[in-house]
Amino acid sequence: MRDTRGHTRKPGLRLWLSGGWITVLVLAALLAPWISPHDPLAQDLFAGRMPPFWQAGADPNYLLGTDSLGRDVLSRILHGARLALTVALIAGVLTCLIGATLGLIAGYYGGWADLVISRLVDIWMAFPPVLFAILLIAVLGTGMTSIIIAIVVIDWTRFARVIRAEAMSQSKMDYVASAQVVGRSRLGTALTEILPNVLPTIVALLTLEMGIAVIVEAILSFVNLSISTDAPTWGGMIAEGRTSVHQAWWVLVFPLVALFLTVLSFSQLGEGLKDHFDPVLR
């Protein structure tokens, strides 16, 4: 993960494409109530299962068609982006803060702190994550806060492990010893010497985590453990679309494409940013 020297150094396409899609998504989420052609919850049973605009029998009012209850797919995707992005942002940042802090402590301070944190991570990772999430939601009750808590509780280990290893290898570098030679405190060294050097990894992981959060939210929606069932979520739409995939494939495919592009963009954005901010690679 560290040695990306061999990569071509075009800051261009990857960053632009992934950043572009995320920007479009953020705008869609922010402006959803104004740009949606329809109310995402409004049902029109006479206009059920309308195909997308390029197919025969389409209604130009419903660009991406309608589901079995006659709800506009495009509007539901736009509103679904709100939940997806909110969860991605909050859960991603919280996971990152908790996991990276513990990883930095374990990797840099070592000794007892490392022993305790590493064992905790080992134990944590022995739980099957999806089951753990479902269990947590069952206990906490459904709702956006529960989803976020579930993601943070399950996924902090990802950060802790990677950042611990990274901080450990950085601690062996002589610039850490040289900070001690001039009398920088342990905490000061961790924050001003080591943290900047693990930051690119943290950023890459953070965006990856945002993608994962979107998927977890979709999975929980898929098994009906997200927010209320008729609220527009991508996972919920995929679950509904699955039942009628032979009659109305578009109900399944469009939210799936949105989900796929979003997760892909997040991970590519992370890698792109990492390369872009690394002075050695620039």
Partner 1 sequence: MSDVIYDVKDLRLSFPDMSRKPILGPAPRIEILKGLTFQIPKGEVLGIVGGSGSGKSTLGRALIRLIEPDSGQIDFEGTDITHMGEDDLRPLRRRFQMIFQDPLSSLNPRRRVGGIIAGPLRLQGLEGIDARVNEALDMVGLPRSFASRYPHELSGGQRQRVGIARAIALRPDFILADEIVSGLDVSSQAQVLNLLEELVRELGLTLAFISHDLSVIRRLCSRILVLYQGEIVENAATADLFAAPTAPYTQELLSAIPLPDPDQVWV
Say whether 80 sits in a helix, a strand or coil. helix
Cβ contacts of residue 120 below 8 Å, gap of 6+? none
- What is the crossing angle of helices 13-35 and 73-109, to 10°? 130
Q: Is 3 in the site for partner 1 (CB under 8 A)?
A: no
For partner 1, the closer CB: 56 or 181? 181
Burial string for 44-68 (b: 16+ CB within 10 Å, else e) reads: eeebbbbbbeeeeebeeebbbbbbb
Among 8, 57, 183, 246, binds partner 1 (CB under 8 A): 183
Among 178, 224, 243, 247, binds partner 1 (CB under 8 A): 178
Please say whether the beta carbons of 83 and 220 come within 8 A.
no
For 16, 167, 178, the CA distances from 183, given in Å and listed in that order, are 43, 20, 9
**Could you tell me which stretch among 28-36, 53-61, 178-186, 248-256 binds partner 1 (CB under 8 A)?**
178-186
Please say whether the beta carbons of 157 and 124 come within 8 A.
yes
Q: Is 197 in the site for partner 1 (CB under 8 A)?
A: yes
Backbone angles phi, psi at 98, to 5 degrees: -70, -50
Taking the complex as a whole, the smallest distance from the CB of residue 176 to partner 1 amounts, in Å, to: 9
Among 7, 39, 196, 243, binds partner 1 (CB under 8 A): 196
**Could you tell me which stretch among 65-73, 140-148, 170-178, 203-211 binds partner 1 (CB under 8 A)?**
170-178
d(CA 184, CA 242): 59
- What are 66's strand-pairing partners? 72
Q: Is 114 in the site for partner 1 (CB under 8 A)?
A: no
Taking the complex as a whole, the smallest distance from the CB of residue 9 to partner 1 amounts, in Å, to: 14
Residues present in the chain in total: 282
Taking the complex as a whole, the smallest distance from the CB of residue 92 to partner 1 amounts, in Å, to: 23
Binding mask 198-217 for partner 1 (x = CB under 8 A): --------------------
Q: Which residues in 47-76 contact partner 1 (CB under 8 A)?
A: none
Taking the complex as a whole, the smallest distance from the CB of residue 123 to partner 1 amounts, in Å, to: 21
Taking the complex as a whole, the smallest distance from the CB of residue 125 to partner 1 amounts, in Å, to: 24
Structure tokens at 245: 């995939």
**Could you tell me which stretch among 16-24, 116-124, 175-183, 249-257 binds partner 1 (CB under 8 A)?**
175-183
d(CA 263, CA 274): 17
- What are 72's strand-pairing partners? 66
Nearest to 255 by CA among 96, 51, 78: 78
**Could you tell me which stretch among 67-75, 104-112, 146-154, 183-191 binds partner 1 (CB under 8 A)?**
183-191
Among 6, 57, 111, 279, binds partner 1 (CB under 8 A): 279
Site residues (vs partner 1, CB under 8 A): 173-175, 177-186, 188, 192-193, 196-197, 279-280
